Amino acid sequence: MPGDVASGETLISLRGVRKIFGEGPTAFAALKGVDIDIAKGDFVAVMGPSGSGKSTTMNILGCLDVPTDGEYLFRGYHVERLDRDQRALLRRRYLGFVFQGFNLLARTSALENVELPLVYRGEEKAARREAAMAALDKVGLADWWDHTPAELSGGQQQRVAIARAIVTHPDVLLADEPTGNLDTERSIEIMELLTDLNRNSDITVLMVTHESDMAAYARTIIHFRDGLVERTETGKKA
Amino acid sequence: MWATTFLLAVREIRRHLLRSFLTILGIVIGVWAVVTMVTLGNGATAAVKEQISSLGANVLQVRPGQGFGRGGGGPQPPDFKIEDIDAIRTQIVGVTAVAPLVQSSGTAVYNAANWSTTINGTNREYFVAQPWTFTGGRIFSEAEEQAGKAVCIIGNTVRSRLFRDEDPVGKRFRIKNISCEIIGTLASKGQGGFGNDQDDIVLMPFKAVQRRMTGNRDVRTIMVSVDANYDSQAIQSSLRDLLRQRRHLSAGAEDDFNIFDTRQISETLQGTTQILTSLLGAVAAVSLLVGGIGIMNIMLVSVTERTREIGIRLAIGAVAREVLLQFLVEAVTLACLGGLLGLLLALISTLALAPVLKVPFIFDAQINLIAFVFSALIGVVFGYFPARRAASLNPIEALRHE
């Protein structure tokens, strides 16, 4: 049954998930039967070479895409049975996204960027402001609330993006190569921020990366190869 | 949800002020053109109506010759005789007033001032046919008319040129070397339909003008005022028959006079200006449509340009309907802004142009409302296609879009 999940219990489970792109002779199987269980409160890094299926898996986990075959249970919801709008509502309620390219709205202040998910939730203006400021404070950018992305460094932009992802207090934060565009120092800052959110704000973090230094922050590391889970290990720093 | 989408749309418009302005430019110009054309057109129609009515309602003007002039070659058709006036009055039913018009021109002199003006000799019935208002004095008495006494009623231009602030009634002045007593002054009628000054006039009993100025008993123009309860066409045709008979025209001969029906002319001219107004309005409406296509263009470009942004919104949890609504509300808000701006410009330009074109400014709420609603409608129609395209984007591909 859909409902709240206590920390440590299974939040996400993929069962025999296959994803095939295209049809006929040009059809390409990106995922060939993936089984993954992720407990609430986990910090998971997904690794693997390009074409291994890690991005496809993240898209499915992020409810942006549906499997061709198999089951995806999230909080007890059969995500594979939901339509486009239902999945959008699921994202709105439970998920937060961080992208490699930050993907902030240009010419829009940090505060307005962070507010955006709350706008779609229909929150009142005062409540929006308060929650957005709290989220900016959490990522250490409260003083920068009125700056547009162009006026912020890459590391700062990614922090704003993280603030936007956590402003709704999501269950899961999905991060797609969050440090891909940053230098090592900024990357470490971002990883420390994600670790902090995972530990102290009870947010399950799913992260795609190809840098093992960054994957080392995770508690669980899942290696993909040719559309299958190759192996699972425990992170070194965790 | 409406408030939310409206907020997002307004934010987006504010964020791209220049682009937004260029987007609505077509609508602005379209609404501006339509409202200006129709408003000025209505003013022109009203002006024509006003000028024609200053000639007198339901008045037939009868002149010798065909058309407005006295004709080209050949013998000049004769003027009318004063007996024709009496014949019309007694033999035609439905006529309320018949007035002769004997014209002359000359210089009016009072003290040191002089002024060259038009002198019209006429009778008491003239004031029934012509809508003159008196600012002072009276019309000629029957005795004065019969005797052809030198009494004058002067128009406003003559009054102001010769007498300035003095009250002329009871004073004597010289006109064409005749000493004339002023018995009345007329209120201003302004410019006539042909650009003439209707107030530059002196009215006298026709016999006075005939005897002392023109030196004959001819009458150039007859004005016939028609009872509104009678058919003007029937009266015209019996008037025509009577004059043909009196002027001894044989059955096959053409008329050597013409009857000018002010009401008919009024209707024709009003019809013409109304057709012109509609035509100009229609041309302007096409530009409004082109403006709508402009909105669609920019919105389509904007959807492509903002693909990534749409991806972000979808990933964050916007449902397709919200994205559709956002783009639609954006288009409609833009179109309405364009409409309002167009209305404002139209108001300013019609207020500025009306005095230049010498037409009255008539605010037409209906055309303003129609133009505004139409521009909003254009927003809906031309905004829908780009909005649907935005809403149907796949979030994964949209996020990957460079």
Share of chain B above pLDDT 70, in %: 95
Give the residue from B316, B325, B394 with the most A CB atoms within 10 Å of its CB, the best one to mutate: B316
Give, in order, the Cα–Cα distances in Å from A108 to each of A3, A88, B7, B389.
Answer: 36, 23, 14, 24
Residue A224 predicted with pLDDT over 90: yes
Which residues of chain B make contact with A122, given a CB cutoff of 8 A? 1, 4
Chain B residues whose CB is inside 8 A of the A56 CB are none
Give per-residue pLDDT as tens, B134-147.
998 899 999 998 98
pLDDT at B82: 86
- Rounded to whole angstroms, the Cα distance separating A30 from A51 reads 7
pLDDT of B191 > 80? The answer is: no
pLDDT of residue A74: 94
Gap from B386 CA to chain A (nearest CA, Å)? 20
Quick check: B312 and A120 CB within 8 A?
A: no
Task: Write out chain A in H/E/C secondary structure.
Answer: CCCCCCCCCEEEEEEEEEEEECCHHHCEEEEEEEEEEEECCCEEEEECCCCCCHHHHHHHHCCCCCCCEEEEEECCEEHHHCCHHHHHHHHHHHEEEECCCCCCCCCCCHHHHHHHHHHHHCCCHHHHHHHHHHHHHHCCCHHHCCCCHHHCCHHHHHHHHHHHHHCCCCCEEEEECCCCCCCHHHHHHHHHHHHHHHHHCCCEEEEECCCHHHHCCCCEEEEEECCEEEEEEECCCC
Q: Which residue of A82, A84, A104, A123 to mutate against B (max B Cβ within 10 Å)?
A: A84
Residue B357's pLDDT is what?
85
Max avg pLDDT among A106-110, B295-299, B301-305: A106-110
Average pLDDT over residues A43-56: 92
> How much is the average pLDDT of B319-347?
91
Q: For an interface test with A, which of B1, B12, B308, B312 has the most A Cβ atoms less than 10 Å from its Cβ?
A: B312
* Per-residue confidence band for A171, with pLDDT thresholds at 50, 70 and 90: very high
Residue ranges covered by each domain of chain B: 2-51+267-400, 78-255
User: For chain A, what percent of residues have pLDDT higher than 70?
Assistant: 98
Question: Predicted confidence band at A66 (pLDDT cuts at 50, 70, 90)?
Answer: very high
Distance from CA of residue B232 to its chain's centroid?
24
- The contact set of B with A (CB < 8 A) is 1, 4, 7-8, 11, 15-16, 308-309, 311-322, 395-396, 399
- Of the pLDDT bands very low, low, confident and very high (cuts 50, 70, 90), residue A15 is very high
- Tell me the per-residue pLDDT of B267-294, one tens digit each, with 9 for 90 and over: 788 888 888 888 888 888 888 888 888 8
Residue B141 neighbours by CB distance under 10 Å: 14
Q: Does domain A10-234 have CATH number 2.40.100.10?
A: no
Closest-CA residue in chain B for A124? B4
**pLDDT-derived band of residue B16, with 50, 70 and 90 as boundaries?**
confident
Task: Sketch the domain layout of chain A as residue ranges.
Answer: 10-234
User: Given an 8 Å threshold on Cβ–Cβ distance, is A93 in contact with B317?
Assistant: yes
At B256 the pLDDT is 86
Res. A72 pLDDT band, cuts 50 70 90:
very high
Q: Cβ A116–B316 below 8 Å, yes or no?
A: yes
Considering CB atoms only, which of B314, B318, B399 is closest to A99?
Answer: B399
Nearest to A117 among B15, B316, B321 (CB): B316
Contact B316 A65 (CB under 8 A): no
Give the pTM. 0.70
Among A173-187, B39-53, B163-177, which is the least confidently predicted range?
A: B39-53
Other CB atoms within 10 Å distance of the CB of residue B282 = 11
| Cβ contacts from A onto B, under 8 A | 59
Q: A119 vs B4: CB contact, 8 Å cut-off?
A: yes
The whole-number average pLDDT for the span B357-368 is: 87
Q: Which pLDDT belongs to residue B194?
A: 65
Instruction: Take residue B325 and report the two structure tokens written for it.
Output: 């609504």
pLDDT tens for B59-78 read 888 888 875 544 555 667 88
Structure tokens at B65: 């010759």
**Model pLDDT, residue A195:** 95
What is the arithmetic mean of pLDDT over A203-225?
Answer: 93
- Give the tens place of pLDDT for each residue, B308-324: 889 999 999 899 998 89
The letter for the amino acid at B284 is: A
pLDDT of B157 higher than 80: yes
The tokens describing B92, both together, are: 């035609």
Q: CB distance B317–A64 less than 8 Å?
A: no
Instruction: Determine the pLDDT at residue A1.
Output: 46
Q: How far apart are the first and last CA of chain A?
A: 32
CB spacing of A119 vs B8 below 8 angstroms:
yes
Mutation for testing the B interface, residue in A60, A103, A123 having most B CBs under 10 Å: A103
Q: Which chain B positions have a beta carbon within 8 Å of A160's beta carbon?
A: none
Whether A91 and B7 lie within 8 Å, measured CB to CB: no
- Contact across the interface for A89 and B317, Cβ inside 8 Å: yes
Picking from B1, B315, B321, the nearest residue to A64 by CB comes out as B315
Question: Does residue B45 have a pLDDT over 90?
Answer: no
Confidence band of B46 (pLDDT split at 50, 70, 90)? confident
Residue B304: what pLDDT?
87
What are the pLDDT digits (tens) for A187-201? 999 999 999 999 999
The larger pLDDT score, comparing residue A67 to residue B6, is at: A67
How close is the nearest chain B Cα to the Cα of A236, in Å?
A: 32
